[in-house]
Amino acid sequence: MNKQSGIHYLREHREAGSSNPVPAQVVRIRDTVVAGLGDLLQGAFDAVDDSLFELANNARSNNEQNRYFEAMREIRIKRKGVERHFQNAVAQLFANPPRSGTVTAEESLANQTSPDSLSLVGDDDLEEQVALNAMITKSKVHFQGPLLQLQTRFSVVYPGASEEIPVNPMAPEHLCSAFVEAIQALEIQIRERLILLKQFDRYVVSNLGMLLDEANRILIQAGVIPNFRYHGTAGEQHDPSAQGPAAEQPADQSTSASGGQQGHHEGAMFEQIRQMLAHQRANAGIPPRASDPTVHVIGGAELANLLGALPQQPRGEQVSGNLSSGEPVIVDLYQVVEQLLAQAGTTSDGKKPALNEMDEDLINLVSMLFEFILDDYNLSAPVQVLISRLQIPILKVVIKDRTFFSKASHPARRLLNSLARAGIGWSESDEKTRDKLYEQIHAVVARILNEFDGDVTLFATLGDEFEQFLARENRKSSLVEQRTRESERGRIKSQKAQETVDQLLQKKLARYKLQEPVRNILLNGWSRVMFLAYLRDDVEHRWLQTVRVVDDLIWCLYPHQDDEERDQWVRVVPGLLKSLRAGLEEVSYNSSRLDEMMSDLKHELTEAFRANALAEAMEDIPAPEAEDEDDPVNHQTAIQRQQELEDAAIAEYVAQIDEIEIGNWVEFNLVNGASFRCKLSAIIEEAECFVFVNRMGLKVIEKSRTDLAHEMRRGRLTVLEQGALIDRALDAVVGSLRSKTG
């Protein structure tokens, strides 16, 4: 393989990247992904170092040990260069994303490994390619939904891309190819390269989900196909905003052009709201202002100038210090503006000032918007109070720039959505006194109240700063959450392994009356071997062998009169004793105690072979079904009937639980009246266990699917809505107006 220096690579890609500027929406994604992958890659390299050190310690010869130590030294020396190489290669993917049909490095190698050319490919390259293809295939299956959404959105953002020629710089094949290219500078053998790829898969590729979700979230926030949803198999997609003529709009418009289809969708929604408000005025008999000769209609720049002198907080509501203290208060914005107009007085020709219909609609819409926001259960209490302080500043923004309602990427709208989304995980307001995120949100609101003078760019500046802060915090919490998930998966798998071993041994031992030495060796010794075999079964496939040892041991202890069975006994016992000793030595069982136990076991086996008198002692205990056949059966039927009723009662709730996705926030309400919010971090299917974490990525609670369904049935579990705050508010406003207008 061609190896090039990191310096040459960086220079080459920096020059290549400079000719194609990255679209504005993608800059934040690129920075977040490059930084996030860098953090994950550090974990992979640390794991590689540990693996090589362990292999060196367990090496069977000096040459093998030196080989691993040399590989460790080579990787440690060139590690930083490889990390920079990889991060720059990823950044280059965003500058020049490969189009569909472009032959990537791994595809090129895959072509070389076709049946016709297999003999031309070296064994090492083939082995590496097999590992690489397995990694890519697994990640594509695991992250199928987020990848499809992201590819669709990237194909809208990048000029020249389309559904026929899609692009996705975060596709696993591109990222894996970038890593393979980055490690070409490492002079190591194939075994060490495979260890590198394995740890890259474990620490980087397996954790792509959080970066894919963050990239989708950023594009949704920028208004790029925000209603796209993926369900089921590849290619099945739902995008309400892409229906009709809007779906045929050019897809390469930036967020400054109001997000393409989404801008048209929300513009139509705003017009629909205005029509319903006009209908209400007509029903109330209010004539058009422009036709009234006694009024002077004020609107546009004139109204914006009047509002400029309005304090950011209503009189009597001025708050100093902690802005989230107290309760959220709805401001009667229409009354505030009416008072302003009254203060302006009549004109020289005696006309009274009055609002035009457009501005009156905007003021009413802002009021309804905040009514929804301050009644939204999904918002945490501190964020509700803080956002309530922004009613007058947002009113000034809307009057000055009406695109607030028709443009998802409007700076003020984007900032409100970010504040609400960031604070969804707060459970109690007392935690805000020591929380950096609260301090940041508080500072953003304070700056708006103190610095906003009508220039909407302040919201854009604050939004960018806040998103950068969130990206840093999310990287930290994501790493903690990753460790939490791994720890919980290991703990739950260990717990499941122990339960399985205990149940299996108890079930088998309950059928026979075994002597104490035999029970002791199975329960206190062999159970450890079975436990480790269960944990490692996906790699070593030894679990069934350990169960077979138990069955063989019990069979050999049972008297056999048939000559063929006695011949089989003679064949089985030596291998059985060898397997028992080897397994117990592998788990480091006490050596002196082991000799004693094996001696006792040999004695029991010999006695079982010789003495037919043991037959009575080894008789089967009557099965539970063979005892009293009336009451137990009826009792069991009653239990089953009760279980069926319970299952039927929670069936619909189980379906709702299965709809909760990784990353969704929920709120638990305790019996004592307290509540807490947490995020679903992992679903461990083998144990049907749902693991929830807090905003810092630390485990809060774990529950089974059934337990969660019962909690939801009792009203103690609420799934919080994840959609953008303003979008949900507008939908609620439309629904409310429709019900009023019939």
Contact residues for 270 (Cβ-Cβ < 8 A; gap 6+): 405, 406
Query: Taking a C-beta distance cutoff of 8 angstroms, is the pair 205, 176 a contact?
Result: yes
pLDDT-derived band at 606, boundaries 50, 70, 90:
confident
Q: Mean pLDDT over residues 78-99, rounded? A: 90
pLDDT-derived band at 336, boundaries 50, 70, 90:
confident
The pLDDT value recorded for residue 104 is 42
The pLDDT value recorded for residue 458 is 92
The Cα 297–Cα 341 span in angstroms is 10
Q: Is the pLDDT of residue 109 over 50?
A: no
Neighbours of 93 (CB within 10 A): 24
pLDDT-derived band at 690, boundaries 50, 70, 90:
very high
Helix axes of 457-510 and 208-221: crossing angle, nearest 10 degrees? 150
**Nearest by Cα to 688 from 703, 666, 710, 698:** 703
Which DSSP letter does residue 338 get?
A: H
Of the two residues 123 and 243, the one the predictor is more confident about is: 123
In degrees and rounded to multiples of 5, residue 167 shows phi and psi of -135, 150
The pLDDT value recorded for residue 567 is 81
Burial of 197 (C-beta count, 10 Å sphere; 0-12/13-18/19+): buried
The pLDDT value recorded for residue 89 is 93
Range in 20-24, 125-129, 628-632, 710-714 with the lowest mean pLDDT: 628-632
Q: Is the pLDDT of residue 445 over 60?
A: yes
pLDDT-derived band at 88, boundaries 50, 70, 90:
very high
Of the two residues 642 and 555, the one the predictor is more confident about is: 555
The pLDDT value recorded for residue 31 is 87
Range in 265-274, 371-380, 450-459 with the lowest mean pLDDT: 265-274
- Vertex 219: Cα angle to 217 and 223 (nearest 5): 110
pLDDT-derived band at 177, boundaries 50, 70, 90:
very high
What proportion of the chain, given as a percentage, has pLDDT over 90? Answer: 12
Name the range with the highest mean pLDDT among 144-148, 181-185, 617-621, 738-742: 181-185
> Residue 328 corresponds to which tokens in the numbers above?
């959220």
> pLDDT by residue (tens digit) across 403-440?
888 777 889 988 988 888 887 877 654 455 567 888 88
Name the range with the highest mean pLDDT among 16-20, 308-312, 336-340: 336-340
Query: Taking a C-beta distance cutoff of 8 angstroms, is the pair 30, 91 a contact?
Result: yes
Range in 264-278, 312-326, 575-589, 616-630 with the lowest mean pLDDT: 616-630
- Vertex 328: Cα angle to 326 and 330 (nearest 5): 140
**Nearest by Cα to 157 from 244, 218, 231:** 218
pLDDT-derived band at 566, boundaries 50, 70, 90:
confident
What proportion of the chain, given as a percentage, has pLDDT over 70? Answer: 79
Range in 264-278, 558-572, 604-618 with the lowest mean pLDDT: 604-618
Return mean pLDDT, the chain.
77
Contact residues for 583 (Cβ-Cβ < 8 A; gap 6+): 526, 529, 546, 549
The pLDDT value recorded for residue 55 is 87
> pLDDT by residue (tens digit) across 448-457?
988 888 888 8
The pLDDT value recorded for residue 612 is 47
The Cα 32–Cα 91 span in angstroms is 10
The HSE-up count of residue 363 (CA atoms within 13 Å, CB side) is 20
DSSP 270-287: HHHHHHHHHHHHHHTTPP
The pLDDT value recorded for residue 11 is 38
Q: Mean pLDDT over residues 188-204, rounded? A: 91
The pLDDT value recorded for residue 482 is 87
In degrees and rounded to multiples of 5, residue 20 shows phi and psi of -125, 95
- Model confidence, pTM: 0.52
Distance of CA 300 to the CA centre of its chain: 44
The pLDDT value recorded for residue 617 is 44
> pLDDT by residue (tens digit) across 474-495?
888 888 888 888 888 888 888 8
Q: Is the pLDDT of residue 232 over 60?
A: no
Contact residues for 700 (Cβ-Cβ < 8 A; gap 6+): 676, 678, 692, 693, 694
Core vs surface per residue 171-190: b (16+ CB within 10 A) or e: bbbbbbbbbbbbbebbebee
The pLDDT value recorded for residue 175 is 94
Q: Mean pLDDT over residues 235-253, rounded? A: 37
DSSP 190-241: HHHHHHHHHHHHHHTGGGHHHHHHHHHHHHHHTTSSTT-EE-SSTT-EE-GG
